[in-house]
Amino acid sequence: MTILSQNLKAIRKNLGNTQMVLANELGIGFRTYVRYEAGERDAPISIMIHLAKLGNMSLDRLLTTEVKKQDLEITDVASTPKTSQKMEAIGGSLDEGRLVFKGLKNDFLVSSNGEEKKLLTKFRKMDKAKRDRCLSDMEWMLGNSKPTNPDGNKKNVSKKDLKAKNAARLKKMTKAIKKITVKG
């Protein structure tokens, strides 16, 4: 049995449903669901999302961590806890730039890059209005920037050039954030 099939069985038992009832809830055939739960067939993403919602857990947790019935009694929450507590990472990595913690539905962006850390630290020190303004400006800048050649026509730009251009934009934004933070 795969982790997904074990988790499907745990969710079904926690809900107190039969395979037939759960198959009807998902809008799929009984035999199809039985094959998902037996690990003979992979469920499509739409079914996995629905199952994660039924189990009150993140999709990462459904796919990567074996869930027991007692784990389902404590549902995943969308917001981070207000008090400090030990959290167990169940997915993601520093290479991906994100982590998923047991008990939380959302994943969290993380960084090991010094410049990103400085940028995030300065961003977190801003008040809400400045944060909103910074985010809207950044979305506008990234959404309205289209690589063009001197004639004004669009051209194909390599990923390396786009990365360099985005890095330059981030440096400009960092300087702007520093100015805003110093002024505020």
Query: What is the average per-residue pLDDT within 93-101?
Result: 67
Tell me the whole-structure pTM to 2 decimals: 0.46
Q: Is the pLDDT of residue 145 over 70?
A: no
Higher local confidence (pLDDT), 83 or 5: 5
Residue 142: the pLDDT is 78
Q: Is the dihedral of CA 94, 96, 97, 99 positive or negative?
A: negative
Q: Is the pLDDT of residue 147 over 70?
A: no
Query: What is the average per-residue pLDDT within 78-103?
Result: 68
* Percentage of the chain lying above the pLDDT 70 cut: 67
Average pLDDT, the chain: 77
In degrees, rounded to 5, the angle at the alpha carbon of residue 41 between the alpha carbons of residues 35 and 42 is: 125
Domains of the chain: 3-109 (1.10.260.40), 114-183 (no CATH)
Question: What are phi and psi for residue 67, nearest 5 degrees?
Answer: -105, 130
- Rounded CA-CA distance 64/142 in Å is 33
The answer to whether the beta carbons of residues 181 and 125 sit under 8 Å apart is yes
- Rounded CA-CA distance 17/8 in Å is 11
Q: Is the pLDDT of residue 154 over 60?
A: no
Query: What is the average per-residue pLDDT within 157-169?
Result: 80
Higher local confidence (pLDDT), 163 or 101: 163
The answer to whether the beta carbons of residues 162 and 142 sit under 8 Å apart is no
What confidence category does residue 27 fall into, taking pLDDT thresholds of 50, 70 and 90?
very high
Kindly write down the DSSP assignment for every residue of 71-107, as one continuous string: HHHS--BSSPPSS-----EEEEETTTTEEEETTBSSE
